[in-house]
Amino acid sequence: MTKIYVLNGPNLNMLGAREPEIYGTMNLSDIEAKLRQQAPEVELVFGQTNSEDELIGWLQAAFNDSADVILNPAAFTHYSYALRDACAMLKGRSRLIEVHISNPHTREAFRHNSVISGVATGVIAGFGVDSYLLALQQLTRN
Ligand code: DQA
């Protein structure tokens, strides 16, 4: 069974309650359920953490499994070189799609730079929770 990691960074556990005018009203469990429904044939490893340490550990697990990754790095997007290095490890081994619910380029200046995009296979941003579904669609197309 193909394994895909769906990893979520800090404050995404608050989706649904957190700034709904930006992130919508769906929570992370709703997103997980939608992804599982879209690709029942895939073994989805779904996680959220507020810890950079834990997120890096999961990326290393994806490396060891040679598994593709859908990653919403949340605020780590904009400054975590440690997370970037973990993502860079996957290059040439598995695919990594960076996703964002909002379009960071339309928001505050500090969100315009991603330290992750340069080592991602692709980036999907601005489509609400559909950003995740589009990423999964891309990773599962033949
Ligand atoms: C986000 C955008 C980031 O700038 C922000 O820090 C988040 C969520 C998004 O999904 O739109 O936490 O990654």
| pLDDT at 104 > cutoff 80 | yes
pLDDT the model gives residue 101 = 98
For 4-41, the DSSP string reads EEEEE-TTGGGTTTS-HHHH-S--HHHHHHHHHHH-TT
Q: Rounded mean pLDDT of 96-112?
A: 98
pLDDT the model gives residue 64 = 98
Kindly state if the Cβ of 8 falls inside 6 Å of ligand 1: no
Kindly state if the Cβ of 111 falls inside 6 Å of ligand 1: yes
The model's confidence at residue 132, banded by pLDDT at 50, 70 and 90, is: very high
| pLDDT at 142 > cutoff 80 | no
Report pLDDT digits (tens) over 59-81: 999 999 999 999 999 999 999 99
Distance 101 CA to ligand 1 centre (A): 7
For the chain, which residues make up each domain, given as ranges?
3-139
111 Cα nearest atom in ligand 1: 4
The model's confidence at residue 124, banded by pLDDT at 50, 70 and 90, is: very high
Kindly state if the Cβ of 77 falls inside 6 Å of ligand 1: yes
Report pLDDT digits (tens) over 17-54: 999 999 999 999 999 999 999 999 999 999 999 999 99
For the chain, the DSSP string reads --EEEEEE-TTGGGTTTS-HHHH-S--HHHHHHHHHHH-TTSEEEEEE-S-HHHHHHHHHHHHHHT-EEEEE-GGGGGT-HHHHHHHHTTTTTS-EEEEESS-GGGS-GGGS--SSGGGSSEEEESSTTHHHHHHHHHHH--
The dotted CATH code for 3-139 is: 3.40.50.9100
Residue 71: CB atoms within 10 A of its CB come to: 27
Mutate to test the pocket of ligand 1, among 28, 76, 77 (most ligand atoms within 8 A of CB): 77
